[in-house]
Amino acid sequence: MIVWREILKKDGICVSQQTVSNIKRNIGLQRNSVEKIKFSRQRPVTTPSSVLKVIQAIDVNDPPTQRSIAKACHASQSTISRIIKQANFTLRKKQKVHKLTSSNAEKRRRRALRLYRQLANNRYKNFITT
């Protein structure tokens, strides 16, 4: 062991005795290994029943948003995202669009004739428009 330290010292590399001991005991193997260290801890929210519930929710033609699934499952949005990735589903981003509610449609229908007359400067007051 001391021989290697002397060789490295001649090359201008200073290595402590503890580093050499760690390398000898393969402690540095974990950091440089190809495989990642697996954590065996089961996350409390990702139970098989909750994972199944999320998969059933997203495996439809028009799936709900991750935020709404998270509220329904009492989990965070990042947990839902992790479950989707681990289940090998493609992550689709839904664009937010303008939603016309029934009350807004009724207001448009009621106010359309008045707006039409105002724009036409009351020229077509006697015509019936639908």
pLDDT in tens, 49-105: 999 999 999 999 888 989 999 999 999 999 999 999 999 988 777 777 888 899 999
User: What pLDDT sits at residue 33?
Assistant: 62
Q: How far apart are CA 128 and CA 130, in angstroms?
A: 7
Least confident of 20-24, 43-47, 100-104: 20-24
User: What pLDDT sits at residue 29?
Assistant: 58
Q: Give the HSE-up count for residue 6: Cα atoms under 13 Å, Cβ half-sphere.
A: 3
User: What pLDDT sits at residue 129?
Assistant: 61
21: nearest Cα among 7, 4, 34: 4
Q: Give the start-to-end residue ranges of the domains of the chain.
A: 2-32, 48-86
What pTM was computed for the model?
0.46
Q: Give per-residue pLDDT as tens, 111-122.
A: 888 887 777 776
User: What pLDDT sits at residue 56?
Assistant: 94
Burial 2-16 (b: 16+ CB within 10 A, else e): eeebeeeeeeeeeee
Q: List the structure tokens of 2.
A: 């001391």
